[in-house]
Amino acid sequence: MSTTPAYDDLCRRHQRMHRLAHLQSIASWDQSAHMPPKGNEARSLALAEMGGLLHQLATEPALQGLLDAAAGESLDEVQRANLREMRRAWRASNALPQSLVEAKSLANSRCEHAWRSQRPANDWAGYVENLREVVRLAREEARLLAEDSGLAKYDALMDQYEPGMRAAEVDRLFGDLRQWLPGLILRVQQRQQQELVRVPEGRFPAAAQRALGLDAMRLMGFDFEAGRLDESAHPFCGGVPEDVRMTTRYREDSFLPSLTGTIHETGHGRYEQNLPREWLGQPIARARSMGLHESQSLSFEMQLANHPAFAGLLSPLVVRHLGEQPAFEPANLNRLMTRVVPGHIRVDADEVTYPAHVILRYEIERALIEGEIEVEDIPALWDAKMQELLGIDTRGNFKDGPMQDVHWGAGLFGYFPCYTLGAMYAAQWFAAMRRTMPDLDAKIAAGELAPVFDWLKAQVWSQGSRWETPELVRRASGEAALNPAHFRAHLESRYLVG
C-alpha cells in the first residue's frame, strides 16, 4: 500500500492534464503552421473548449484537500519540489474563472489569425479592433491574479512566465542597460565602419534555405525523431518534449534571418527535448521559466552561432545549399552575422541592438496592462521610443512597428522582458563554462560543440523546475543570482576587443 496516496493521486491527475495539453499544443501549432484559413474559427472554438476543460481539471475541488494531505506525507526532495509546482499551478488556475480562460483563448486566436493578413497590409486600424478585446481580457486576468497574489497587475502576469521576477528588478536591470547600451551601439558601429564586408549576391530560394536550416539543426544536435521544422508567419517553438514543433519563415532576398531564427528556435527545441523524462507529465518536468528558455535559444543564436569560430562550421553548409561565393567565406560570414545595424525588426536584430527592442516593448506593455495608456496610444509611444533608443523613424510603418510581433495579439503580456533576461543568463552560463573549461573557445573552433551542450544539459535542461530560479542559477553558475555584468562584458569583449 502506498505511503503517499494523496501525492500519487495528484501525479495521476497531472499526468492526465499533461496528455490533454499535448493535444492542445499540437492543435495550436497546426493552427499556425498548416491549417487552412477557413478552419480558424472552428479551431479557435475547439482550443477554447480544450482550455476550459483543462481549467476544470486544474481547479477540481478535491485538489485543495489532496495538496494539503500530500504536504503531510513522507516525500523526498524531488517530490516536494513537484508538490511546490503543483500548488503554484493550482493557485494560478483558481484565481481565474473558466469563462475568462475560454474568452481569452478565443479572442487571442481570432486576433492572431487576423494579424497574419493585417500585418502585410499595414492595417493598424483593423488590428486594433481585435487587440482591444485581447487587452481588455488581459487586464482582467492581471487584476484577478494580482488580487490573489498581492502583486501589482503587470507583475502578476510576468510571474506566469518568469516566476519570482518583479518589474522593480526589471526596471533596475533595464535602467542600467539604458545608460550604457546607446553608447556601446555607437562605438561598435564606428569600429565596424573600418571593416570590409562582402554582401551575399543573388536570391536564395526558400527550399535551399530550408535545407540549410535543417543541416544547421543537425549540427546543433536537434533530434529529428522527436521534432520537426515547419514554416509560419512568426517563428516559434511549440509542441511537447516528446514531439517538438519548430517553425521559421523565409525571405528570398536574405538567408540570414531564417538561418539565425532557426538556430534560435533550435535552442528552445533542445531544451524541451532534454527536459527530465523520468518526471515527464509532472509540473517539475517543465522548463523553469521563459527567461531560462530564452537563455537557451540565445545561447545557441548569440553566444554560439555568433562566436568568431562558429562561422567556420556554418560556412560549408551555406556553400553546400546556396552555392559558393566570397561572401560565404568564414571570416566574412561571421562579419555578416555580427553586423550591428539598428533596424525595425526585433527577431532580425543583432545581439547589441536587440535589448533596445525588448526595453521598448516592456515599457509599453507594462503601461498598457496597468491602465496608464490605451491601445490607441501605442503607435506614438512606439515611434518616440524607437527614435530614442535606436534612432529609427517608424511613423506610419505599423507592419514593421507595433504589428511585427505575434505576442500582443496572442495575449502574451509579461513575456517580453524574458528575452533580455535570457540574454543575460546566457552570458552568465558561458562565463561559468569558461571557468570550468578554459579551452572552450578552442573546442568550438575545432567543431567540438558537445562540451557546450553537455554543460547546458547537466545544469539547465535536465533540471526542469526542480529548483526555483535563484537556486538553479547558483548551482549552474556559482553566483547567487542573475548577474548582468556578464552580458555587458560579453558584448564589449566580442565587439570592441581584438
In the numeric block, the cell 562566436 is attached to: 307
Whether the Cβ atoms of residue 19 and residue 236 lie closer than 8 Å to each other: no
Amino acid identity of residue 497, one-letter, is V
What does residue 248 show for φ and ψ, rounded to 5 degrees? -140, -175
Class of residue 443 by CB neighbours under 10 A (exposed 0-12, middle 13-18, buried 19+)? middle
> CA geometry: angle at 391 spanning 389 and 396, to 5°?
105
Indicate if 195 belongs to the active site: no
Contact (CB, 8 A) for 295 and 263: no
Which three-class secondary structure state does DSSP give residue 45?
Answer: helix
Closest CA to 223 of 467, 461, 476: 461
> Which whole-number Å values give the CA distances from 17 to 23, 276, 383, 406, in the listed order?
10, 18, 43, 26
Which one is catalytic: 112, 133, 162, 265? 265
Measure the CA–CA gap between 269 and 221, rounded to whole angstroms.
10
Q: What nine digits make up the cell of 261?
A: 531564427
Listed in sequence order, the residues at least 6 apart from 281 whose beta carbon sits closer than 8 Å to its beta carbon are 11, 14, 15, 18, 19
Establish how many alpha carbons lie within 13 A of residue 306's alpha carbon, considering only the half-sphere containing its beta carbon: 25
Place of cell 505575434: 406
CA dist 488 and 187 (Å) reads: 14
Residues marked as catalytic: 265
